[in-house]
Structures are given as structure tokens and as C-alpha cells.
Amino acid sequence: MPAPWRRRKLWRDLVDGLPQGLPEAGDEGLEKTHTWGRTYWGGSLYCFLADLRIREQTSNARSFDDVMRAVVATGADVEVHWDLARFLDVGDAATGTHVLHDAYRELALAPGTVDLAALWRRLGVAVDARRVAFDDGAPLASIRRSMASR
């Protein structure tokens, strides 16, 4: 497990950064956005939510890491072009879920909003101006810990 200061930094960076990936008025989803912040942080939000939901649906047995391992196992590398549908199919098959397809419909094809404040509470992450605190009694605390492990 990373040093405590690294875990605190990870969660502070997510709490501070992910809101930049949320849709604004008139947003039509990640597929149609052209702003840097929405593209970068929206993609980060997609991956974060996918990882969290995969872990929830598999009782923490699978994660977004399994998606990436499955892609690599096909022999794909930076010189191989895949369409998005293939990535979503391979990733969902690897995790035994429909998380990637569902999150894509929710966040890329529509503006889809995420209640980050509620999510932080469920994960047991509290951030203020001076510190980051963790609640190990939170419903998703075990998932939070596994997300921050090596």
C-alpha cells in the first residue's frame, strides 16, 4: 500500500479535479465536448466511476485494471487501432459486467451527472482546506482502500 501521504494526495487530487469533468449547462456528453477540462477530467471521471462500479458489482474481485489487462492480452499495442465498441466489449467481458457500456451511455452519449459529494461519503473520504480524513466505517471503505493500493 502506498505511504499515507500518497493516499491522501490521491484522494485530494480526485476530490479537487473530478468536478471539472462534470457537465455544464447545454452539455451533450463527453462525445460532443471540446473543452480541455471537460475532456480530460470527464475521461478521468468515466474511468474512476467504471473502476468503482466494477469493484462494487464484483465484490471487489475485479477492477479497471482487469479491463486493461484484457486489452493487452489480445496483443493490442499502441500501433493497433480499435473502435470504441471493441474496447467496451473486451473490458466488460473481462469483468463480467456491463459497466463500461452503461457508463458510456450515461456519460458520453448524454450529459450524465454524478453526485460526487454522496460518492465521497460512501467511500469515506472527507477533504477540507487543511486535511484529508478517511472513515473506515463508510459503506465503500474497503473499495476505497483497494483503489489506492498497488
* Other beta carbons within 10 Å of 93: 12
Q: Are 52 and 143 in contact (CB under 8 A)?
A: yes
C-alpha 8/C-alpha 134 separation (Å) is 9
Lowest mean pLDDT among 25-39, 44-58, 95-109: 25-39
Q: What is the pLDDT of residue 2?
A: 65
Average pLDDT for the chain: 93
Task: Tell me the mean pLDDT in the region 57-86.
Answer: 94
Lowest mean pLDDT among 8-17, 51-60, 73-82, 84-93: 73-82
Half-sphere exposure of 129 (CA within 13 A, CB side): 0
Q: Are 57 and 97 in contact (CB under 8 A)?
A: yes
C-alpha 80/C-alpha 139 separation (Å) is 40
Could you give the percent of the chain with pLDDT greater than 90?
76
CA proximity to 103, closest of 65, 52, 34: 52
Amino acid identity for residue 39 in this structure: T
